[in-house]
């Protein structure tokens, strides 16, 4: 099976690499030459355009930063060259209404479409342990499942086209708002002078427990590493997607609105390109508190 992969960023490159390593033929494009070369170094093919990646591919994956990027690339570069019967799978996190528009464009060309945004973190993508939330017709889901299994360990068929993207918006709303709450909690802990390890042990043993304190924070910001990962800029964008979608459906998201403004403060402070666990460092700076670190970090 020939695979086209458009978007070889921090998540896209390890996912494309896992496909290549597990026996699929991957042709990939990214604006960064180093990313194309990294794919070529393990036997894949790096090409100069999204159209070159999509041409003759059985399945074309897109993993791009925002709605406009996906719409532009699919409509302008992929659809004109896609082979009959090809499946286009968008793994980006974008506006669900734009997902619907793109699906309609793809269907109008007689091609197939699935949305399959990605859960978990970049370290999971490195290990081939992604989680996928898929919106697709049953037959299309069956066709792409072996590819998703090469990149991840958990695959949820959430419903028809568009259901995967809507599930990702719901997921990211909770995950990103929780990251901001963690930042404030640990800043307060630092101001109180409490022990970081003991605080994490207590919080993870009560109903306050959350995945960030167990997985992401200890290996990122609390270890002194705030390089992405998942950027605060992208987290801000994703919260915006949730708030826009909620507004259209007349669903109030007061906490989410506050969290987005907190992320905006972090961006204004120069943290936009940092990992979203770096919200802790941004908040400690605002509070005049030394950022907490685990021993030896």
For 34-52, write each residue's pLDDT tens digit. 999 999 999 999 999 999 9
Provide the 10 A C-beta neighbour count for residue 203: 18
Please identify which of the residues 109, 168, 198, 220 carries the catalytic annotation: 168
**Which percentage of the chain shows pLDDT scores above 70?**
100
Contacts of 145 (CB under 8 A, 6+ apart): 155
CA distance 277 to 81: 40
Helices (H) and strands (E) in the chain, counts: 14, 9
- pLDDT tens-digit readout, 50-94: 999 999 999 999 999 999 999 999 999 999 999 999 999 999 999
Render pLDDT for 178-211 as a digit per residue (tens, 0 to 9): 999 999 999 999 999 999 999 999 999 999 988 8
For 103-126, the pLDDT digits (tens) are 999 999 999 999 999 998 899 999
214 is catalytic: no
Burial label for 152, CB within 10 Å (0-12, 13-18, 19+), is: buried
Helix (H, G, I), strand (E, B) or coil at 155: strand
pLDDT confidence tier of residue 1, bands split at 50, 70 and 90: confident
Residue 133 burial by CB count (10 A; 0-12/13-18/19+): exposed, middle or buried? buried
């Amino acid at each position: 099976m020939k695979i086209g992969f458009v978007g070889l960023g921090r998540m896209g490159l390890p996912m494309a690499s896992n496909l290549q390593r597990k026996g699929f033929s991957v042709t990939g494009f990214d604006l960064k030459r180093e990313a194309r070369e990294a794919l070529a170094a393990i036997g894949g093919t790096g090409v100069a355009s999204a159209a070159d990646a999509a041409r003759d591919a059985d399945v074309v994956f897109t993993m791009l930063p925002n709605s406009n990027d996906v719409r532009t690339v699919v409509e302008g570069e992929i659809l004109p060259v896609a082979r009959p019967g090809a499946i286009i799978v968008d793994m980006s996190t974008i506006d669900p209404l734009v997902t619907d528009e793109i699906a309609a464009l793809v269907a109008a060309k007689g091609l197939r479409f699935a949305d399959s945004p990605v859960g978990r973190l970049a370290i999971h993508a490195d290990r081939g342990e992604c989680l996928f939330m898929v919106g697709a017709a049953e037959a299309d889901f069956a066709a792409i499942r072996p590819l998703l299994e090469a990149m991840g360990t958990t695959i949820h068929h959430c419903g028809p086209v568009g259901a995967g993207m809507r599930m990702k918006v719901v997921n990211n709303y909770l995950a990103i708002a929780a990251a901001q709450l963690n930042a404030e909690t640990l800043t307060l802990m630092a101001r109180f002078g409490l022990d970081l390890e003991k605080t994490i042990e207590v919080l993870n043993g009560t109903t306050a427990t959350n995945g960030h304190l167990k997985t992401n924070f200890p290996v990122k910001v609390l270890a002194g590493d705030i390089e992405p990962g998942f950027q605060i800029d992208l987290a801000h964008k994703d919260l915006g997607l949730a708030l826009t979608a909620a507004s259209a459906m007349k669903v109030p998201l007061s906490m989410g609105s506050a969290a987005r403004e907190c992320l905006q403060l972090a961006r204004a402070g120069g943290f936009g390109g940092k990992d979203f666990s770096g919200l802790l460092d941004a908040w400690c700076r605002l509070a005049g508190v030394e950022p907490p670190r685990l021993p030896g970090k």
